Amino acid sequence: MRLEGRKILVTGAASGIGFATAKVFLREGANVALLDHNRDGLASAVARLSGGPRQIASALADVTSEAELAMAVVDASSALGGLDGVVNAAGLDLMRDFDAMTSAEWARVLAVNLTGPCLVCQAALPALKMAGRGTIVNIASGAALRPLGARTAYCASKAGLVMFGKALSMDLAAFNIRVNSICPGIIDTPMFRASFESADHPEEELSKILDRYVIRRVGRPDDIANAALYLTSEESAYVTGSSFAIDGGRTFH
């Protein structure tokens, strides 16, 4: 019960890291609002997580829409009786050679991965201030720390998200709100699987990816959810403005 009584908003909660985080947080005593733009996926996630003693709310919104977010976050806060934490797990990947990438593709990746968390934080900030404390955890990427080929937009967006968290931690410290980032390596999510399953030889492609890692396996969503749990709990009360590489050794390998 490391999050007993906490009220947390998790974006990108219909699948992958967001869903795993919501599941772990509920297990640890939090009441959780799941936010996603995928209506069917969100309904399925809520159904799979329901039945326990903790309160679950759902919020349908695109993180790039300021108007949708404003309404969704207010509704989530109202349903939970306030908010004192946010996990920004919504994200978008793009594999594209730079000379083939369009300005619209660039803008979309930055809108989801960088502007989206900014808008979520702005929408949630009144509730976090009212709570008198708060935690924000941004799910960035190992690509923020070591670049990947054919992913200029993705790398730029995630590196920006890490620095956004550092700067925001300075602005919000006076309100007893901590901000940290997690930089995952490869994690077994639909987004990661799509990155290699379309190759001519998926097994060979996966093997080449794993060669970059000291711990030679694909990470599990719970590996990241457990890190988010630490950064949301009182165990990390003296941690803010930090970025954690949860990446099987990819950063230094």
SS3 for 243?
strand
How confident is the model over 16-37, as a mean pLDDT?
Answer: 98
Q: What is the pLDDT of residues 150-195, one digit of tens each?
A: 999 999 999 999 999 999 999 999 999 999 999 999 999 887 888 7
- C-alpha 51/C-alpha 59 separation (Å) is 18
Residue written as tokens 């809108």? 111
How confident is the model over 11-28, as a mean pLDDT?
Answer: 98
pLDDT at 253: 63
How confident is the model over 201-205, as a mean pLDDT?
Answer: 88
**Whether pLDDT at 1 is above 90:** yes
**Whether pLDDT at 46 is above 90:** yes
pTM of the predicted model, to two decimals? 0.96
Under 8 Å between Cβ of 232 and 25:
yes
* Least confident segment among 160-169, 197-206, 220-229, 244-253: 197-206
pLDDT at 192: 86
**Whether pLDDT at 200 is above 90:** no
- C-alpha 122/C-alpha 182 separation (Å) is 20
Domains of the chain and any CATH numbers: 7-246 (3.40.50.720)
**Whether pLDDT at 74 is above 80:** yes
How confident is the model over 37-65, as a mean pLDDT?
Answer: 97
List the one residue out of 117, 58, 70, 122 whose CA is nearest residue 90: 117
In sequence order, which ranges of 81-236 are alpha helices (DSSP H)?
103-110, 116-131, 152-172, 190-197, 202-210, 221-232
* Least confident segment among 6-20, 39-53, 124-138, 179-193: 179-193
Average pLDDT, the chain: 96
**Whether pLDDT at 198 is above 80:** no
Length of the chain: 253
Residue written as tokens 């070591």? 146
- C-alpha 109/C-alpha 66 separation (Å) is 16
In sequence order, which ranges of the chain are alpha helices (DSSP H)?
16-27, 39-49, 66-80, 103-110, 116-131, 152-172, 190-197, 202-210, 221-232
Q: What is the pLDDT of residues 102-131, one digit of tens each?
A: 999 999 999 999 999 999 999 999 999 999
Q: Return the active site residues.
A: 154
